[in-house]
Amino acid sequence: MQGSLTGRRIVLPETRELDLLARLIEAEGGEAIRCPLVAIVDPPDPAPVAAWLERFVRDPCDDLVLLTGEGLRRLHAAARAAGTESAFLHALAPPRKITRGPKPATALRTLGLEPDLRAAEPTTEGVIAALSSEDVRGRRVGVQLYPDNPNRRLLDFLAEAGARPDPVLPYAYASSADAGRVVEVIDRMEAGGVDVIAFTSSPQVRRLFEVARTAGRAAALETAFARMLVAAVGPVVAAELEAREVKVAIAPQDAYFMKPLVRAIAAAFAAGRKGS
C-alpha cells in the first residue's frame, strides 16, 4: 500500500504496545522492524506492594501521584490477585489524583475516574510544578514510582513541603529481545538499512546502549545513529538520548503517545519530500 511511510523502515523497541505501534506504522505503508528491548514484569519481592495496598485500602492517601499508566494497572492487578479489588477501587476514589502525562490519565479513565490535577509537562519537574502551588502540609501522598528511577527529587520535594510521601514501586523491567537479536538490529542500522528508530521509553535507550557496549558494538551504534533519524515519544525519552549525545530529530509537540509519534514520523518524511 502507498502511504507517507512507504519504503521506510522503522525500528520499534516498544514491548507492551508493540502490536499497536506496528499497525500504525504499517497503516502508513512503513515496514515495522520489531525489536522489543524491555519487558515489564512483577517486582521480584511482592511484599512491599502488598503492604502498600493494605495501607491504601485501610486508610486511603490524601493525594496519589501516578507517574505511569502501567503503574496503576499493576496496582489494580495486584489488588485483584489479593482479593481486594473492590476495596482498592473504592479507596481510589477519594484521594486527589495527580497524573504525569496522558497514560496514567487514560488508565484512570478505564476505571471510571479522572485526574484531579495534571502536570503541564509529563516529567517529574512538571509534577513538582503542578504541586508547588498546592498546600500539601500534613497530607499523606502516595507516589507510584517506576523502575530505574527512585525519584528522590519528587519525594524530597514532598517531604520538604511538609507532606508524608508514601511511595510504591509496582513493577520491574527485564530484558526482552535476546542480545543476539539486538545486535542484528544494530548491525542493520549501521549498514544503512533503517530509516528511523522510534523510542517510547528511557529504559529502551539504556538497554540498547548496554547491549552495544557488552557486544563490542558501541562504535557501530554511534555510526547507526548518524545514518538515520531518531524519534522520541516525549521529553523524558528525548532527554535520555540527548544525555548520550544522540540527536533527536523527531518528537511529537503536544501529546506524548503512540499516534502523535507516528504522525510526527510521517510528517518528517512528508516535509523531506516537499523540500526535495
pLDDT one-digit tens code per residue, 203-236: 999 999 999 999 999 999 999 999 999 999 999 9
Length of the chain: 276
Give the pLDDT score at 51.
98
pLDDT score at 275? 40
User: For position 205, what pLDDT does the model report?
Assistant: 97
User: Does 159 fall in a domain?
Assistant: yes
Would you state the cell numbers that stand for residue 203, as one nine-digit string? 529504559
Residue 272 pLDDT: 61
User: Is residue 171 scored above 80 in pLDDT?
Assistant: yes
Q: Which domain holds residue 21?
A: 9-38+175-275
What is the residue whose three cell numbers read 548520550? Answer: 244
Question: Is 197 found in the same domain as 116?
Answer: no
Sign of CA dihedral 60, 84, 146, 72: negative
262 within some domain = yes
Instruction: Decide which of 152, 172, 192 is a domain's last residue.
Output: 172
Is 92 within 8 Å of 115 (Cβ atoms)? no
User: Grid coordinates in use for 7?
Assistant: 519504503
Which domain-ending residue is among 139, 172, 205? 172
- Residues in Cβ contact with 19 at an 8 Å cutoff, skipping those fewer than 6 apart: none
DSSP 3-state of 146: strand
Q: Which of 75, 69, 74, 114 shows the shortest CA–CA distance to 95? A: 114
Residues 125 and 199 occupy one common structural domain: no
Please report whether residue 3 resides in a domain.
no
For residues 134 and 240, membership in a common domain is answered with no
55 & 166 share domain: yes
Of the candidates 68, 64, 45, 66, the residue with the CA atom closest to the CA atom of residue 55: 64
Give the Cα-Cα-Cα angle 200, 206, 209 (nearest 5 degrees).
115
pLDDT, residue 2, reads 65
Q: In terms of C-beta density within 10 A (0-12 exposed, 13-18 middle, 19 or more buried), how is residue 262 classed?
A: buried
Q: Which residues pair with 259 in a beta bridge?
A: none
Instruction: For the chain, give the mean pLDDT.
Output: 94
pLDDT at 1 over 60: no
The pLDDT value recorded for residue 6 is 95
Give the C-alpha separation, 67 to 73, whole Å: 12
How far apart CA 256 and CA 213 sit, in angstroms, is 29
State the pLDDT at residue 254. Answer: 81
Query: What's the pLDDT score for residue 154?
Result: 98
- 28 and 60 co-located in one domain: no
Instruction: Tell me: do 110 and 210 sit in the same domain.
Output: no
**Average of per-residue pLDDT across 82-87:** 98
Residue in 68, 67, 86, 62 with CA at minimum distance from that of residue 76: 86
Give the CATH number of the domain where residue 31 resides. 3.40.50.10090
Does residue 126 share a domain with residue 208? no
Residue 170's φ and ψ, nearest 5 degrees, are -90, 5
Question: Is a pLDDT exceeding 60 seen at residue 276?
Answer: no
Q: Could you tell me where the DSSP H helices lie in the chain?
A: 18-27, 47-58, 69-81, 85-92, 102-109, 124-132, 152-160, 179-190, 202-214, 218-226, 235-243, 258-275
Residue 4: inside a domain: no
Lowest-confidence range among 64-78, 127-141, 247-261? 247-261
Distances (CA, A) of 138 to 62, 97, 98, 248: 9, 17, 17, 42
pLDDT of amino acid 274: 43
Alpha-carbon span 164 to 32, nearest angstrom? 45
166 and 181 co-located in one domain: no
Residues 215 and 244 in one domain: yes
The answer to whether residue 58 sits within a structural domain is yes
Residue after which a domain boundary falls, among 157, 172, 187 = 172
pLDDT average, residue stretch 78-95: 97
Are 62 and 163 found together in one domain?
yes
| Residues 142 and 240 placed together within one structural domain of the fold | no
Instruction: Calculate mean pLDDT across residues 2-19.
Output: 93
Do 118 and 202 fall within a single domain? Answer: no
Q: How many domains does the chain contain in total?
A: 2
Domain-located, residue 192? yes
- The answer to whether position 137 is within a domain reads yes
